[in-house]
Homo-oligomer: A and B are copies of this chain.
Amino acid sequence: MEKIDLLLTNAIVLVMDEGFHQYEPGAVAITGNKIVAVGPQPQMEKEYTPEATLDCGGKVLMPGLVNAHTHIPMTLLRGLADDLRLDVWLLGYMMPVEREFVSPDFVRLGSRLACAEMLRSGVTCFADMYYFEEAIAEAVAQIGMRAVCSQTVLKFPTPDAADFEESLSLACNFIQRWKNHPLIVPSVAPHAPYTCTPEILHLAAALAQEFDVPLHTHISETAQEVENMRNEQGMPVVPYVKKQGLLEAKVLAAHCVHIDEGEIRTLLHAKTGVAHNPSSNMKLASGVAPVRRMLDLGINVGIGTDGPASNNDLDMFEEIRLAAFLAKGFSGDPTALPARTVLAMATRLGANALHLGDITGSLEAGKRADLILVDLSSLHNSPRFHHDPNGTYAQIIYASKASDVTDVMIEGKWVLRNRQLLTIDEAELVKESQQYAQRIDIFLIHREQSILSKLVAIGGATQEESYEMQAKVPLKDPAHILEALQQPDIEIIRQRHYRQYDTYFVFDDPQQCRLRYRADDFIIEKGEVTNVRSRLTLVGQASEYNFPQKVLLSRSRFIAPATQTLRFYREYFKPSRELEIEKDRLRYLIRFKGIEFYINVDTLSKPELGFFLEVKSRTWSRKDAEQKSSLAIDLINHLNASPEDNISEEYVDIVETM
């Protein structure tokens, strides 16, 4: 009779080993932080003399769930913005708020909130990727959870580092300090191939290899990412990261939604672990990963919740149910990913994917005592059938809920007992998180009130103001203007031909400016388009002042290159109306009586407004504007147009009043 610390008895034991052993009634022997043995209760009682015995009351005793990919501090951004496209969600909401609020204090609180929620859904181990990972690791270790904590590296500045060198240095120090912690496995996370330079990928892989720690990254989450990679590098994402040496490390790759057979085999060969994130991939409409194929070939595919801002919770019971459903619903085969396989993904295979399979993920002798009790006697789990040995797995996947988890032990220590968290004060967390939410609300409410601050929030505008003097005359026929421009006292400095497509966003609030999205086609000759650029212009109130003869002084403008699509801006700014204007523009920069003017000869095709001459000039003061406007009238006369036809409206004003 061997002495042990603790014998857990009277349980439906799901070992979740490769043989899928089950014991009912079963028992688990624990000494210190480790599992000594697992087996049928009568046999275990004969073989072991425990210091203490715990009757599990007929509950399921199984390995704790492994949340294979998440960003835990984002609990504090849960429900911040939903039902948006990935770019609007990320660039419009997540990143601006993160820039403003993410700090060691933020990640500490968010991590504690996340740990509490995960423990309540039976999670004992997870893989995190965020900023200030040192503070996260401290919070997690103090609560007593097991985690791979991955310090994020990006090619952009992050909340915790001015550049990627600083991020990598943070990661290096973090890894050295935490390398031998019993619960925390430190790791480096080059965020994704498209947000990292090849150099970052190389250096991160080298760092992970040097200290033999996992490397955590995002791979092929969206079809767009793969398309961009193919266009830019002539290959999909997995071969690209392999080329950068990334797969030399012990990689945990999140998502892998859009990968092909060859890429799957590359990941298999590299022993890369994969984290499947069904809720996030559905909510952001990224697609469904080829999970069944990856499993068939032998890849360790775990299941993750992803960050709670795109989920919106950390409930692994919802995640496993959805993983089972999606595999069936998308393949048309209801036998795909049966319950037993899904539960293996959420335990043993998940631990393997995190490269922690030797210490956790199943109830096997020698592994750490990371386990949970699940009560299957509740109403929504009733009744329970015994005729099929797979029935218990099915019950957990399809019927049971996070709220059925009653007890959680990690590293041999109870952290949840009878649904009570032992290392966390929940009420305090809820209260503190609400204080953060209020501050973020104020920030966003203020921002949302002004189109300009929304534009600034996405890094979309240089805050420069200028004024513009403008005179506009309708023309019967532009030909004589083009002739008149050849006069010797007009010096043509530059000449361009554009096709311009303008979309104006108009807002209900009359205080708001108009936002113009302009796509310029630059035409060389014979209509050939060589250069397309898109610009975003925030146009101030329609007219500041009208000079005699309706010369317009408009307040200009915040101008920025439009790096996102028109659709992005539409969904981000939510205009109440849109107006479209298309025109052909011959644009001249000329000098007339010592002053530079822009002359536009425009043909408006949408709507069909005909021909116009525009004379424009930048100006910096009222006085300067007055002088220039008077000169502009001279110029119009000089070009044989009629300055008395001058209209003090912009095209968009004409269109709006049509």
Report which A residues bind B (CB closer than 8 A).
Answer: 75-76, 78-86, 89, 113, 116-117, 120, 279, 281-288, 311-315, 318, 321-322, 324-326, 328-329, 331-336, 338-339, 377-380, 382-388, 390-391, 394-395, 398-399, 401-403, 426, 429-430, 433-434, 436-437, 440-441, 444-445, 448, 571
- A387–B444 contact, CB under 8 A? yes
Q: Which of B89, B329, B336, B445 contacts A287 (CB 8 A)?
A: B329
- Can you give 17 contacting A-B residue pairs, CB < 8 Å? A78-B382, A79-B384, A83-B335, A84-B335, A281-B329, A282-B329, A285-B333, A287-B329, A312-B395, A315-B401, A379-B430, A383-B430, A383-B433, A384-B434, A386-B437, A388-B444, A401-B403
A283 touches B83 (CB 8 A): no
- Known: A78-B383, A315-B380, A388-B444; 17 extra A-B contacts, CB below 8 A, are A79-B384, A79-B385, A79-B398, A83-B394, A282-B328, A283-B325, A283-B329, A285-B331, A286-B329, A311-B398, A312-B398, A335-B571, A379-B430, A382-B430, A383-B436, A384-B434, A387-B440
**What residues of chain B lie closer than 8 Å to A402, measured between beta carbons?**
380, 401
Q: A328 to chain B: which residues have CB within 8 Å?
A: 282-285
- Known A379-B426, A402-B401, A426-B379; contact A384-B437, beta-carbon cutoff 8 A: yes
A385 adjacent to B437 (CB under 8 Å): yes
On whether the beta carbons of B113 and A334 are closer than 8 Å, the reply is no
Q: Are B382 and A329 in contact (CB under 8 A)?
A: no
**Are A382 and B429 in contact (CB-based, < 8 A)?**
yes
Q: Say how far A321's CB is from chain B's closest CB, in angstroms.
A: 7
A322–B437 alpha-carbon span in the complex (Å): 26
B388 in contact with A326 (CB, 8 Å): no
Q: How far is the CA of A643 from the CA of B571 in the complex (A)?
A: 86
Instruction: Assess whether B334 is in contact with A79, with CB atoms less than 8 Å apart.
Output: no
Expressed in whole angstroms, the minimum distance between the Cβ of A71 and any Cβ of chain B is 16
Chain B: minimal CB distance from A204 (Å): 29
Known contacts A83-B335, A283-B398; is-contact A383 B444 (Cβ 8 Å) = no
Chain B residue numbers with a CB within 8 Å of A401 are: 315, 401-403
The answer to whether B338 touches A386 (Cβ under 8 A) is no
Decide yes or no: A282 and B325 within 8 Å by CB, A315-B401, A434-B382 being known contacts.
yes
- Pairwise interchain contact A379-B312, C-beta atoms closer than 8 A: no
Nearest residue (CB) in B for A431 is: B382
Given the complex of chains A and B, what is the CA–CA distance between A117 and B335 in angstroms? 27
Smallest CB–CB gap between A207 and chain B, Å? 34
**B285 A391 Cβ-Cβ under 8 A:** no
Most buried by B among A326, A377, A388: A388
- Please give, as numbers and ranges, the residues of chain B lying within 8 Å of A326 by CB-CB distance: 282, 329
Q: A398 to B307: give the CA distance in the assembly, Å.
A: 13
Task: Enumerate chain B residues within 8 angstroms of A403, measured Cβ to Cβ.
Answer: 401, 403
Contacts of A379 in B (CB 8 A): 113, 116-117, 120, 426, 429-430
Cβ contact within 8 Å between A285 and B332: yes
The distance from the CB of A22 to the nearest CB of chain B, in whole angstroms, is 15
Chain B residues with CB under 8 A of A283: 324-325, 328-329, 334, 398
Contact of A279 with B325 at beta-carbon distance under 8 Å, contacts A315-B380, A332-B285, A444-B387 already known: yes
Can you name the residue of chain B whose Cβ is closest to the Cβ of A89? B334
Report chain B residues within 8 Å CB of A113: 379, 382
Are B81 and A388 in touch, CB under 8 angstroms? yes
How far is it, in angstroms, between the C-alpha of A504 and the C-alpha of B48 when the chains are bound? Answer: 49
Distance in Å from the Cβ of A657 to the closest Cβ of chain B? 31
Instruction: Give chain B nearest CB distance to A554 CB in angstroms.
Output: 32
Q: How many monomers of this protein are in the complex? A: 2
Asked whether B325 lies within 8 Å of A383 as measured between CB atoms, the reply is no
Tell me if A390 and B334 are in contact (CB < 8 A): no
Closest to A281 in B: B329
Residues in B with CB closer than 8 Å to A448 are 387
Q: Is there an interface contact between B440 and A380, defined as CB atoms closer than 8 Å?
A: no
In the assembled complex, which residues on chain B have CB atoms less than 8 Å from the CB atom of A445?
A: 386-387
- Whether the pair B382, A433 counts as a contact (CB closer than 8 A) is yes
In the bound assembly, the distance between CA atoms of A391 and B80 in angstroms comes to 7
Choice from B284, B386, B390, B437 contacting A383 with Cβ under 8 Å: B437
For A437, give the chain B residue with the smallest CB separation: B383
Known A-B contacts A281-B329, A402-B401; the reply to A82 vs B394 at CB < 8 A is: yes
CB of B79 within 8 A of CB of A394, answer: yes
A404, closest chain B residue (CB) = B403
Residue of B nearest to A79 (CB): B395
- Are A383 and B279 neighbours in the complex by a CB distance under 8 Å? no
Which of A283, A399, A437 has its CB near the most chain B CB atoms (within 10 A)?
A: A399
Q: How far is the CB of A153 from chain B (nearest CB, A)?
A: 27
- Contact of A399 with B434 at beta-carbon distance under 8 Å, contacts A113-B379, A120-B380 already known: no
Determine the distance from Cα of A117 to Cα of B321 in the docked complex, in whole angstroms.
18
Q: A326-B329, A380-B117, A388-B81 are in contact. Are A334 and B284 (CB under 8 A)?
A: yes
Nearest 10 pairs between A and B by C-beta? A383-B437, A282-B329, A282-B325, A83-B338, A312-B398, A82-B394, A285-B334, A383-B433, A387-B444, A285-B328
Closest CB of chain B to A485's CB: distance in Å? 48
Check B329 against A288 for contact (C-beta < 8 Å).
yes
Q: When chains A and B are docked, how far (Å) is the Cα of A313 from the Cα of B404?
A: 14
Which residue on B lies nearest to A447, using beta carbons? Answer: B387
Distance between A255 CB and nearest chain B CB, rounded to angstroms: 13
User: Which chain B positions have C-beta within 8 A of A383?
Assistant: 76, 78-79, 430, 433-434, 436-437
Q: How far is the CB of A129 from chain B (nearest CB, A)?
A: 21
Give the residue name and chain of the B residue nearest to A328 (CB).
B285
Complex formed: what's the CA distance from A387 to B403 in Å? 30
Alpha-carbon distance between A475 and B85 when the two chains are bound, in angstroms: 73
Residues of B with C-beta under 8 A to A332: 285, 287
Q: Please tell me if the beta carbons of B336 and A285 are within 8 angstroms of each other in the complex.
A: yes
- Chain B: minimal CB distance from A449 (Å): 10
Given A318-B318, A325-B279, A401-B402, verify A80-B385 contact (CB < 8 Å).
yes
Q: Given the complex of chains A and B, what is the CA–CA distance between A79 and B395 in angstroms?
A: 6
Most B-side CB within 10 Å, residue of A75, A328, A380, A394: A380
